Amino acid sequence: MHVDRDNNSAKFWLDPDVSLATNFGFKRKELRDIEHIARQNLLRLRNEWDDFCGSSSTESS
C-alpha cells in the first residue's frame, strides 16, 4: 500500500502482516497512525488489492 501526502511517501506491505517497507518524509507518529489505520482496514485493503490485480490480469489476457 502506498501513502502519499505533500512531499512525503511511504510504502507498507499488507501480507503477511502490515509492515513498513519504505518511508520518505513521514514522522514516526504519522507512520504509527498510518499503520494503525491499515490494520483496522486490513481485510478491506487486501480485498481491494485482490480485486485490482484480478481485474488487471483479466483485461490483459
Find the domain containing 22 and state its range.
Answer: 2-59
Task: Estimate the crossing angle of helix 28-40 against helix 42-59, to 10 degrees.
Answer: 80
Domain count of the fold of the chain = 1
Is the pTM for the entire model greater than 0.85? no
Q: What pLDDT, in 10s, does the model give residues 3-56?
A: 999 999 999 999 999 999 999 999 999 999 999 999 999 999 999 988 989 854
Which residues partner with 10 through β-bridges?
3, 23
Which one has a higher pLDDT value, 59 or 42?
Answer: 42
What per-residue confidence (pLDDT) applies to 54? Answer: 84
